[in-house]
Amino acid sequence: MEQPDPHAQHPRAMRCGRRAVLAAAPAVLLPAAARGGAGQPGAAGLVWPTRPVRIYAGSAAGGSLDATARILANALAPRLGQSFVVENRGGAGGSLTFEPVMRAAPDGHALTLNNSGALVVNPLLQANPAVQPFEDLAPVALASEVLTVLVTPADRPWQRLEDLVAAARARPGELSWGHPGVGSSPWLAALLLDRMAELRTISVPYRGGGPAMLDLLAGRLDYMFATTPTALPHVQAGRLRALAVPTPQRLPFLASVPTVAELGYAGFELRGWFGILTTKGTPRPIIERLHGAINEALRDPASVAQLAEQGMSPLLAESPDAFARYAAEERERWGPLARAAAAREAAAQ
């Protein structure tokens, strides 16, 4: 199985030059006739939403996905004239959010906000997946991207990534790491490290990044790739030690922490992202209005600042269709690695 080519062209929906182009675009990407303000009709007399909108967040409370859901809920309510209620449904790799949205009336009042693992990776790992998110639901918008950092409890003996790798090689099948679900970006990052460093370790799934972090802090795990909003306060407090980041360059707020790539694993890069879908059959004008409101909210300096405080940044797609194309590219990029890891775990059982 070939490893994903880290140098292959992989267009990000909002990044570098393209990020600047999107930032300069109009606040709402819909035609003016389709917008409509809070309580005002849009195209063809559209009045939406007509009651509170429920956002099913695919993680336990306290993680970066939960934070994104609440930032969006607070930003969308005044823009659309109805409250947005967040309901956390962690576990099962985030898939517990799909059923209530699929059962809802196709009117845009039920949304799922989920991570890239639940949306694009997990269906690849099942022979007959119960849900194919981009077939059984309607894509709406990208939301945010989140960075991860490789951390270990401060009382562990390894001071550098090289020390951790040496310990894992000396004790194959003993060191354990946590993750918020199969298919999540922390899961993929740890698998990629296993593959590139030729390690044999134990993966431990949790219902979200928050519960996994609790066990790491308690010493029940040896290390994990944790999202920066979850890990950074504990690194700053000295409870965790940051060993490396899976980004092309060092992070400004962790400037002393090297990248995995500069430690000898060329091309090691991974970021997680979150996206929003709604019930299949929802009228296109509703989806477009919601997409435009989400993009407007994510461009708001207040939302940008709130995401930055959580170690995240907005990730915008130009349209619902662009979001679907972006997800398809991600499936192609990470599918081979995820399938090979799943096959390995099945063979070991």
Q: Where are the domains of the chain?
A: 16-145+272-340, 148-270
pLDDT of residue 36: 41
186, two tokens: 């922390």
Tell which residue, 169, 190, 166, 167, has the closest CA to residue 178: 190
pLDDT for res 60:
83
Are 101 and 277 in contact, with CB atoms under 8 Å apart? yes
CB 145 within 8 A of CB 192: no
Q: Which residue has the tokens 């409370």?
A: 61
The predicted pLDDT at position 23 comes to 34
Coil, helix or strand at residue 172 = coil
Please give the pLDDT value at position 27. 30
**What was the pLDDT predicted at 2?**
41
What was the pLDDT predicted at 92? 78
CATH of 16-145+272-340 given 3.40.190.10, 3.90.1300.10, 3.40.190.150, 3.90.1720.10: 3.40.190.150
The CATH code of domain 148-270 reads 3.40.190.10
The pTM (predicted TM-score) of the whole model is: 0.75
pLDDT, position 87 = 97
> pLDDT tens, position by position, for the chain (349 residues)?
444 443 333 334 444 333 322 332 333 232 333 334 444 445 556 789 999 999 999 988 877 889 999 999 999 999 999 999 999 998 777 789 999 999 999 999 999 999 998 999 888 888 788 899 999 999 999 999 988 999 999 999 999 999 999 999 999 999 999 998 777 888 889 999 999 999 999 999 888 788 899 999 999 999 999 988 889 899 999 999 999 999 989 988 899 999 999 999 999 988 889 999 999 999 999 999 999 999 999 999 999 999 988 888 999 999 999 999 999 999 988 888 878 876 766 665 5
pLDDT at 346: 62
Distances (CA, A) of 203 to 155, 179, 194, 230, 248: 20, 7, 11, 19, 25
Same CATH fold assignment for domains 16-145+272-340 and 148-270: yes
SS3 content of the chain, % helix, strand, coil (to 5): 45, 20, 35
Task: Tell me what pLDDT residue 214 has.
Answer: 95
Helices 228-236 and 64-80, axial angle in degrees (round to 10) = 120
